[in-house]
């Protein structure tokens, strides 16, 4: 290998297998290198592999055949780079490499992802297991040949999950439609958990390791629908049933059965630790797996697969019997070399096993403890010792489980008539452990056979590639491993044959087997003996040497079928158990043991498998386990290299290296190596010729020029890269020379300019200093003048203020003394007044007392005189009697008065009490007033004391004036400071006022917004009210329909309408049949009985039929012919509506005319379902629907009691000769009358609504079909020819206007054509806006999904190309105006932001927040992560976002994977109808029914003559 200084290479490493390095020096025998870690090494050139440094920045190739250097380290690190980005799938040609991520990636496997890969060519989208499955399915359908998918890898690499995904995809593309849970595809899918339960177990490497290989043959019928499946298993690990090691487990089914509640109790099962076959390991549970739930899933899988309930019970009884049988222990019997059950516990388990097998317990015991040998003399019963009994017990259990698995495999339904199949082979990969035994020998033998088939396939693919390119390939060598296969399987001296021969002899041991093996293959290059062992042997497989220990080879190869075991189970009362072991023929039953070689049987199965695979077209998937710890984001290089060797990937690379490993398109070759010979490209426009001249210039030989590619032998690409590097080095030196000259000259010019500038600065500085000195002198004089002036003024102002203060204090003192004098004068006058008043009052009181005393003395004198008179009269007797009677009367009067006074006194006492209470309250109030008066007097006294104090202080103020004059100066200083503070406060106050004004303005704005919101709320309330009214109307219509439907069975009027429209067309439009209601509404037509009774029934029916036929023919003519438009409104819709109105169709309880109209429209659409008929009928049907929506009203009361509401006052009605119209007009709306509608009219409106939706959907789907091929051409930058000078441009900037914009121009032309067709048919702008919006949404979804699925689209140049195309779409939207385009530009948000991310520079400087908030706010983290990891700059070679951002996004995506079951990064297409009948009613302007240009054929029909009369 020729390497030069600076070359990048791969160097071997003990820990990392290969590491990147750079050559720092080289000689003939050694190369000095420095690795990326800084370590310096010296190696020989033969150990190195060339490396392309540019590939490190690309994130890995999706197809490793595109690697510049297809070698072992290149393959390894390409897979490593993609695995770091969660891209777990990689192609090597047609071979798919799948790396187990050890984490959930649900977004890769949902239905939307399967839909994307459906029908996509292999290699067009990102590598995926669905792509391989789809390629096999398409090849089967196109070529009619069966296919096979071979999935291989070591334990834990993900083979089982990959097989599940393949079967899931095949059921997706080939599944039948149906609601039955037991369809074929369901049976195929559910066979996986069933086989896992009975064939998978926990191993050291994997919790769910398949302990057998399986070949699932999925069968299809001629239409590509799944019709059946067949499952075959290979080399089930029988020994695991009876023997396991810690920390492994037995098969899952045993633990699931123990975890079941009902069955475990019924079968007397308990915890797995109680059973010998399960407690040999202490691992009974798996992390995150519930055995009870898995048992339920297994049961459900059995139901779906089709295993009956009885067979299910029998299966689990057999499993329970095996567990009980394992607990049976034996002890020596009474006879020599005999055995019996050890204890009561063993007898209990023996009894349970017999009960579960439904056989006799004694017969079971005899079968395990004895053997019967048939001789000529008779049968001889031989007793078995304990060890032989245990061995027989274990063999019995192993045979039971193997037969059970075979029985379950045959339970999936098979299609014997199927001619096409897709076989999925899930088989173990190549194994090389520290201790390799018989199982590894068989597994590696199978992988040798598959590797031979793989090599043949790869060689065939190479031949096809060379043949397609029309190059010579006859001398390519083919690497074959037939010698290893002959060593293993060839008769009569192959390894298997010698092993079988050794097993036939009872006394043979593994030593004799090894000795015979070495004797026969002493000189074989593929076989060798172990240096430190006499029995171990080494075989050189394709993946490396493996040492096999022969200690257990003979025991594991012997598979004795004990006749007693078969006879025992055949006699079982359970049909399922007896079917597991049918009776053996008499010839084979003579011996108690029947020998069967496991290796020979496996070889036969393998041979049958290879014959099946050779009859199919193979597809390969190699599963890789990235690390031994089963952890995500951990990549072990040495382990991966070993698995790639074992999987045959490196062997495929070796086959490619034997031919032409490097293949380049001519344009790519000239782009990369054209600079080697620029003179060659100056006059040539043919890339192939230029490629040949470049290769001849370098004197390279043995290359091949194909039709589209150049094929180079191994090492030639290194010569080209070396020459290219040399040319680049020379160019770099030239550039550096010119750059140094430029830098030196620029430095000289800058220094010269700096010197001139410095001189100018110095002169300016000196002049500035002189000017500053003169200016300071003038300023000093001015400052002195102003300071002197200020000091003088300050002294004057001080004197002036002092004088004013003294004068103010003197005047205040004089005024204060004058006020006190006047106050004393007023007080003296008041005292004198009160004294004079007191003297006058006392004199008056003395005079009054004297008068009263005189009056009393005079009255006393008069009373004495009267008393003497009365005394004289009393002395007389008569006077005494009179006095007595008088006194008695006075006594009675006094007693009466006494009683009266008592009553009065009681009442007076009560009144006095009330008065006393009132007086007390008054007294309390007076006391309070008295207290207040006292407080007032005290306050007055205090005031007087204060005044006296003030008088005393006023005398002291004179002495304090002098001190105050001293403090005035200090106060002035403080006043100045306060003024400054006041100014500051005033400024703050002004700023606060401004802020207050701004706040008020903000409040005004918010108040206005609140008012606007209130208006919007009121509008919304009105809208809600209108919607409620519409809802009520719909409820009335539904009530009418419901009650009409319940009233009576419907009968069809016309036989042609018997078939419903739902069957005839895949639309929701259903035909309507007439019915007779229970409550028939009286109509005005029924009032004209006098006219109708005179006609006979036959004449009336005949005339009615003729009239209806005439109506139908006229409507059919209107529907079939294009009547055009008048004033932008469709003529056909208005004619149909006027005819229905005139013919009173809306009144009819039973009519078929509506069905006829719908059928006619559907027939017109079926005849021509193109972009001309659909817009025409979209315009007509929407107009007709709008007329019905505005003028028809349902009457809920009509449906309930059969009566109509009478019209309100002021409403018009039809007039004429009698009441001809059967319906009432119930109101006005926009100047048009509303009519009450019967059931057929209401149903017709609903059918018409469905018809409008159908036409809109058909038009939209047709547009998408036409647009899809145009978008496929716009997804990626078109390849262009080479321009003069050998320079190519891969970006749209370098393309001619015709080439860069031709594809996007086709889309613009398509949109212009669409707009012209829609506007030419006067489709309402509402529909155009909705249609254009959905078209742009489809453009957004298609481009965005393609961008995420194709790595070649995530480039800088492709981003520029798509950006220019989106600019053209934006220009079209602007020209189309909002009335037609609506919000279409916003529908392109996803693709616009994704393209903006592709073309932005310096992505590594952007943080995740900047990307999410500024660049791609609409995109999810998963989508941004996908674009970031797939991006590569093909124009400037810049890098994507930083590794820190990628790691943060990876963590977020992993969290989403765990929290969400399905989180796809792809967009879903919206297939809904974006409008309703109410939206159509609100969007279409009023329709005038009078302005119609009638067609000429109107005069031919009598039923339409009213149109002419109306027109006149």
Give the separation between CA 633 and CA 1212, rounded to whole angstroms.
Answer: 82
**Is omega for the bond preceding 247 within 30 degrees of 0, making it cis?**
yes
Give the separation between CA 70 and CA 76, rounded to whole angstroms.
Answer: 10
Q: Answer yes or no: 472 catalytic.
A: no
Say whether 153 counts as a known binding-site residue: yes
Among candidate residues 397, 423, 429, 1359, the one labeled active-site is 429
Q: Residues 6 or more apart from 1397 whose CB is under 8 A from it? A: 1359, 1403, 1411, 1415, 1416, 1424, 1427
Say whether 157 counts as a known binding-site residue: yes
Q: Which residue stretches of 537-683 are H helix?
A: 553-557, 563-570, 575-580, 598-614, 637-646, 649-658, 666-673, 678-681
Among candidate residues 65, 90, 200, 210, the one labeled active-site is 210
Answer yes or no: are the C-beta atoms of 423 and 148 closer than 8 Å. yes
Q: Answer yes or no: 1101 catalytic.
A: no
Say whether 808 counts as a known binding-site residue: no
CA separation, residue 861 to residues 392, 869, 873 (Å): 166, 13, 20
| CB-facing half-sphere around the CA of 1186: CA atoms within 13 A | 23
Q: Answer yes or no: 329 catalytic.
A: no
Among candidate residues 68, 94, 148, 155, the one labeled active-site is 155
Q: Answer yes or no: 684 catalytic.
A: no
Among candidate residues 55, 62, 329, 431, the one labeled active-site is 431
Cα Rg of the chain (Å, integer): 56
Whose structure tokens read 């008769």?
Answer: 491
CB neighbours of residue 414 within 10 Å: 15
CA separation, residue 1275 to residues 29, 1266, 1335, 1353 (Å): 51, 15, 16, 7
DSSP classification of residue 1384? H
Answer yes or no: are the C-beta atoms of 224 and 172 closer than 8 Å. no
1194 membership: H or E segment, kind and range: strand 1192-1194
Which 3-state string (H, E, C) describes 546-570? EEECCCCHHHHHECCEEHHHHHHHH
Give the separation between CA 481 and CA 490, rounded to whole angstroms.
Answer: 13
Say whether 46 counts as a known binding-site residue: no
Among candidate residues 65, 90, 146, 160, the one labeled active-site is 160
Give the separation between CA 1512 and CA 1508, rounded to whole angstroms.
Answer: 6
Per-residue exposure over 1160-1184, b if at least 16 CB sit within 10 Å of its own CB, e if not:
bbbebbeeeeebebbbbbbbbbbbb
Q: Answer yes or no: 429 catalytic.
A: yes
Say whether 154 counts as a known binding-site residue: yes
417 membership: H or E segment, kind and range: none
Say whether 945 counts as a known binding-site residue: no
Answer yes or no: are the C-beta atoms of 447 and 646 closer than 8 Å. yes
Whose structure tokens read 């695991």?
Answer: 240
Per-residue exposure over 381-409, b if at least 16 CB sit within 10 Å of its own CB, e if not:
eebbbbebbbbbbbbbbbbbbbbbbebbb
Helix, strand, coil percentages (3-state) for the chain, rounded to 5, are 60, 10, 30
Q: Which residue stretches of 675-715 are H helix?
A: 678-681, 687-697
1127: left (phi over 0), alpha (psi -120 to 50) or beta: left
Say whether 156 counts as a known binding-site residue: yes
Answer yes or no: are the C-beta atoms of 1178 and 1317 closer than 8 Å. no
CA torsion angle for 1431, 1432, 1437, 1442 (degrees, to 10)? 40
Give the separation between CA 1248 and CA 1256, rounded to whole angstroms.
Answer: 12
Q: Which residue stretches of 1048-1127 are H helix?
A: 1061-1064, 1089-1092, 1097-1120
Among candidate residues 171, 209, 298, 1180, the one labeled active-site is 209
Answer yes or no: are the C-beta atoms of 366 and 379 closer than 8 Å. no
Q: How far apart are the first and last CA of the chain?
A: 101
Closest among 1229, 1249, 67, 1162 to 712, alpha carbons compared:
67
What is the number of helices (H) and of strands (E) in the chain?
45, 31
Q: Answer yes or no: 210 catalytic.
A: yes
Per-residue exposure over 218-232, b if at least 16 CB sit within 10 Å of its own CB, e if not:
bbbbeeeebbbbbbb
Q: Answer yes or no: 511 catalytic.
A: no
SS3 state at 159: helix
Q: Answer yes or no: 431 catalytic.
A: yes
Among candidate residues 78, 136, 148, 206, the one labeled active-site is 206
Among candidate residues 156, 326, 423, 648, the one labeled active-site is 156
Annotated binding site: 153-160
Residues designated as active site: 155-156, 160, 206, 209-210, 429, 431
Annotated binding site for ATP: 153-160
């Amino acid at each position: 290998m020729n390497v030069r200084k600076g070359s990048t290479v791969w160097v071997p490493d003990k820990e990392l297998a290969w590491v990147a390095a750079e050559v720092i020096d080289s000689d003939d025998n050694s190369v000095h290198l420095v690795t990326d870690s800084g370590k310096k090494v010296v190696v020989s050139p033969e150990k190195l592999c060339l490396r392309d440094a540019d590939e490190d920045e690309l994130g890995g190739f999706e197809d490793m055949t595109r690697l510049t250097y297809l070698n072992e380290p290149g393959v390894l690190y390409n897979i490593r780079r993609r695995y770091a980005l969660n891209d777990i799938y990689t192609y090597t040609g047609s071979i798919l490499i799948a790396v187990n991520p050890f984490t959930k990636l649900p977004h890769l496997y949902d239905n939307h992802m399967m839909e994307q890969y459906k029908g996509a060519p292999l290699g067009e989208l990102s590598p995926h297991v669905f792509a391989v499955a789809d390629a096999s399915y398409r090849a089967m359908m196109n070529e009619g040949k069966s296919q096979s998918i071979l999935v291989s890898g070591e334990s834990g690499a993900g083979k089982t999950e990959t097989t599940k995904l393949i079967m899931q995809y095949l059921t997706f593309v080939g599944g039948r439609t149906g609601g039955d849970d037991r369809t074929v595809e369901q049976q195929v899918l559910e066979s996986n958990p069933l086989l896992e339960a009975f064939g998978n177990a926990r191993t050291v490497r994997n919790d769910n390791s398949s302990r057998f290989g399986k070949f699932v043959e999925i069968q299809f019928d001629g239409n590509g629908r799944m019709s059946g499946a067949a499952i075959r298993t290979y080399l089930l690990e029988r020994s695991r049933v009876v023997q396991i090691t810690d920390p492994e487990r037995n098969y899952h089914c045993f633990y699931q059965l123990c975890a079941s509640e009902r069955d475990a109790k019924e079968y007397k099962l308990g915890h797995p630790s109680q059973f010998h076959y399960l407690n040999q390991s202490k691992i009974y549970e798996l992390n995150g797996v519930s055995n009870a739930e898995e048992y339920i899933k297994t049961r459900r899988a059995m139901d779906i697969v089709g295993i009956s309930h009885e067979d299910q019970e029998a299966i689990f009884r057999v499993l329970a019997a095996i567990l009980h049988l394992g607990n049976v222990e034996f002890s020596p019997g009474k006879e020599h070399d005999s055995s019996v059950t050890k204890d009561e516990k063993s007898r209990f388990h023996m009894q349970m096993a017999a009960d579960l097998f439904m056989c006799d317990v004694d017969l079971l015991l005899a079968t395990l403890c004895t053997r019967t040998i048939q001789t000529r003399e008779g049968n001889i019963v031989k007793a078995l010792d304990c060890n032989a009994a245990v061995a027989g017990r274990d063999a019995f259990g192993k045979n039971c489980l193997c037969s059970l698995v075979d029985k379950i495999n045959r339970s999936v339904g098979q299609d014997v008539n199927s001619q096409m199949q897709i076989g999925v082979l899930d088989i173990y990969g190549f194994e090389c452990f520290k201790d390799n035994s018989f199982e590894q020998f068989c597994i590696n033998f199978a992988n040798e056979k598959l590797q031979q088939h793989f090599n043949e396939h790869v060689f065939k693919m190479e031949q096809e590639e060379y043949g397609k390119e029309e190059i010579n390939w006859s001398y390519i060598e083919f690497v074959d491993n037939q010698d290893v296969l002959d060593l293993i399987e060839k008769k009569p001296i192959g390894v298997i044959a010698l092993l079988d021969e050794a097993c036939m002899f009872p006394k043979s041991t593994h030593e004799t087997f090894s000795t015979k093996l070495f004797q026969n293959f002493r000189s074989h290059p593929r076989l060798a003996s172990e240096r430190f062992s006499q029995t171990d042997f080494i075989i050189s497989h394709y993946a490396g040497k493996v040492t096999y220990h022969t200690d257990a080879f003979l025991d594991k190869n012997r598979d004795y079928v004990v006749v007693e075991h078969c006879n025992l189970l055949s006699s079982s009362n359970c049909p399922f158990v007896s079917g597991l072991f049918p009776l053996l023929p008499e010839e084979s039953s003579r011996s108690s043991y029947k020998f069967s070689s496991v290796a020979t049987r496996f070889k036969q199965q393998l041979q049958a498998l290879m014959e099946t695979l050779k009859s199919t077209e193979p597809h390969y998937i190699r599963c890789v386990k990235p690390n031994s710890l089963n952890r995500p984001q951990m990549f072990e290089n040495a382990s991966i290299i070993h698995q790639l060797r074992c999987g045959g990937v490196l062997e495929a690379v070796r086959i490619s290296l034997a031919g032409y490993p490097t293949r380049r398109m001519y344009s790519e070759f000239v782009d990369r190596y054209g600079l080697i010979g620029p003179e060659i490209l100056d006059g040539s426009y043919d890339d192939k010729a230029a490629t040949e001249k470049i290769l001849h210039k370098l004197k390279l030989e043995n290359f091949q020029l194909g039709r589209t590619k150049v094929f180079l032998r191994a090492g030639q690409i290194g010569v080209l890269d070396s020459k290219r590097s040399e040319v680049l080095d020379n160019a770099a030196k030239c550039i550096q020379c010119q750059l140094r000259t430029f830098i030196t000259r620029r430095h000289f010019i800058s220094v010269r300019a700096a010197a001139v500038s410095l001189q100018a600065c110095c002169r300016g500085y000196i002049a500035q200093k002189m000017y500053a000195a003169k200016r300071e002198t003038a300023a000093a004089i001015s400052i002195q003048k102003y300071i002197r002036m200020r000091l003088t003024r300050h002294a004057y102002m001080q004197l002036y203020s002092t004088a004013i203060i003294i004068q103010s204090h003197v005047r205040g003192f004089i005024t204060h003394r004058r006020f006190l004098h006047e106050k004393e004068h007023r007080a003296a006058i008041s005292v004198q007044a009160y004294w004079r008043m007191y003297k006058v009052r006392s004199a008056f009181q003395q005079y009054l007392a004297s008068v009263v005393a005189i009056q009393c003395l005079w009255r006393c004198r008069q009373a004495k005189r009267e008393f003497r008179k009365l005394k004289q009269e009393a002395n007389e007797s008569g006077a005494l009697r009179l006095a007595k009677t008088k006194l008695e009367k006075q006594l009675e009067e006094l007693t009466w008065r006494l009683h009266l006074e008592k009553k009065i006194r009681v009442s007076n006492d009560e009144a006095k009490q009330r008065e006393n209470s009132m007086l007390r309250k008054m007294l309390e109030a007076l006391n309070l007033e008295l207290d207040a008066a006292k407080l007032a007097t005290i306050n007055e006294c205090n005031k007087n004391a204060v005044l006296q104090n003030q008088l005393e202080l006023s005398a002291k103020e004179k002495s304090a004036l002098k001190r105050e004059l001293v403090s005035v100066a200090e106060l002035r200083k403080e006043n100045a400071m306060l003024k400054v503070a006041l100014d500051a406060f005033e400024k703050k106050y002004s700023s606060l006022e401004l802020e207050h004004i701004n706040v008020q303005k903000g409040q005004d704005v918010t108040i206005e917004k609140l008012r606007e919101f209130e208006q919007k709320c009121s509008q919304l309330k009105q809208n809600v009210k209108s919607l409620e009214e519409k809802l009520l109307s719909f409820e009335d219509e539904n009530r009418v329909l419901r009650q009409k439907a319940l009233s009576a069975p419907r009968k069809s009027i016309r036989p042609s309408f018997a078939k419903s429209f739902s069957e005839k067309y895949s639309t929701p439009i259903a035909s309507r049949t007439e019915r007779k209601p229970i409550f028939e509404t009286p109509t005005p037509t029924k009032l004209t009985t006098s006219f109708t009774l005179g006609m006979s029934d036959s004449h009336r029916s005949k005339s009615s039929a003729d009239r209806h036929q005439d109506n139908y023919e006229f409507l059919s003519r209107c529907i079939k012919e294009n009547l055009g438009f008048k004033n932008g409104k469709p003529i056909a819709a208005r004619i149909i509506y006027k005819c229905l109105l005139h013919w009173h169709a809306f009144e009819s309880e039973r009519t078929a005319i509506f069905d006829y109209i719908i059928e006619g429209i559907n027939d017109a659409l079926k005849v021509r379902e193109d972009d001309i008929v659909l817009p025409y009928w979209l315009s007509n049907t929407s107009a007709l629907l709008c007329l019905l929506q505005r003028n028809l009203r349902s009457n809920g009361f009509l449906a309930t009691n059969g009566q109509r509401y009478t019209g309100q006052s002021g409403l018009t009605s039809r007039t004429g000769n009698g009441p001809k119209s059967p319906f009432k007009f119930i109101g006005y709306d926009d100047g048009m009358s509303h009519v009450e509608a019967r059931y057929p009219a209401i149903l017709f409106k609903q059918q018409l609504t469905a018809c409008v939706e159908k036409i809109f959907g058909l038009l939209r789907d047709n547009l998408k079909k036409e647009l899809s091929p145009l978008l496929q051409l716009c997804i990626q930058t078109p390849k262009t020819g080479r321009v003069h000078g050998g320079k190519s441009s891969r970006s749209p900037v370098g393309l001619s206007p015709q080439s860069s914009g031709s594809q996007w121009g086709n889309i613009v032309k398509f949109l212009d054509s669409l707009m012209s067709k829609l506007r030419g048919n006067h489709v309402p702008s509402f529909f155009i806006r909705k249609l254009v919006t959905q078209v742009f949404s489809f453009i957004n979804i298609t481009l965005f999904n393609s961008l995420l699925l194709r790595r070649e689209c995530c480039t800088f140049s492709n981003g520029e190309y798509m950006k220019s195309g989106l600019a053209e779409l934006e220009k079209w939207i602007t020209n189309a105006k909002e009335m037609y385009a609506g919000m279409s530009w916003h529908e392109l948000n996803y693709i616009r932001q994704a393209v903006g991310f592709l073309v932005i520079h310096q992505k590594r400087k952007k943080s995740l927040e900047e990307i999410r908030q500024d660049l791609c706010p609409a995109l999810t983290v998963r989508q941004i992560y996908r674009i970031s990891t797939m991006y590569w700059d093909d124009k400037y070679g810049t890098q994507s976002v930083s590794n820190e951002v990628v790691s943060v996004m990876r963590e977020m995506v992993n969290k989403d994977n765990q929290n969400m079951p399905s989180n796809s990064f792809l967009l879903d297409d919206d297939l809904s109808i974006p409008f309703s009948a109410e939206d159509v009613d609100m969007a279409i302007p009023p329709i005038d029914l009078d302005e119609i240009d009638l067609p000429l054929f109107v005069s031919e029909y009598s039923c339409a003559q009213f149109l002419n009369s109306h027109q006149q």
